[in-house]
Amino acid sequence: MASIDMGNGYQIDFDDANKFVKALQDQKGRLNDSLQKVNRTANVEPPGDDDYSGSYVGYGVNPMVKQHDDWNTKKQQELQDLIDKITAAVDNYKKTEHNNTMRA
Partner 1 sequence: MRLALVLAAGTVLGAVALGGCSTSKPGTPDSTTAAPSSTTSAVPNPLDIGKIQQSPCDAFTSAELASYMGAVDNTSTDASDGKPTCNWHPTDGHKPNISISVYPDLGGPEGMYAAKAQYNFFEKAGPINGYPAVHASTGDSQTGVCQTIVSISDKAGFGIYVSNTTPSDPNYRTMCTVSDQIAQLLVGKLPKVS
Residues forming contacts to partner 1 in the complex (CB under 8 A) are: 25, 28-30, 32-33, 35-45, 49, 54, 57-58, 61-62, 65-66, 68-69, 73, 76-77, 80, 83-84
| Spatial contact of 12 and 20, defined as CB atoms under 8 Å apart | yes
| CB of residue 31 to partner 1, shortest distance in Å | 9
* Rounded Cα gap, residues 69 and 71, in angstroms: 6
Nearer to partner 1 among residue 42 and residue 88 (C-beta): 42
| CB of residue 55 to partner 1, shortest distance in Å | 10
Nearer to partner 1 among residue 22 and residue 98 (C-beta): 22
* Rounded Cα gap, residues 97 and 56, in angstroms: 61
Nearer to partner 1 among residue 54 and residue 88 (C-beta): 54
Nearer to partner 1 among residue 50 and residue 97 (C-beta): 50
Determine the residue type at 49.
D
User: If DSSP codes are grouped into helix, strand and coil, which group holds residue 1?
Assistant: coil
* Rounded Cα gap, residues 24 and 21, in angstroms: 5
| CB of residue 82 to partner 1, shortest distance in Å | 10
Q: Which of 45, 75, 71 is nearest to 57 (CA)?
A: 45
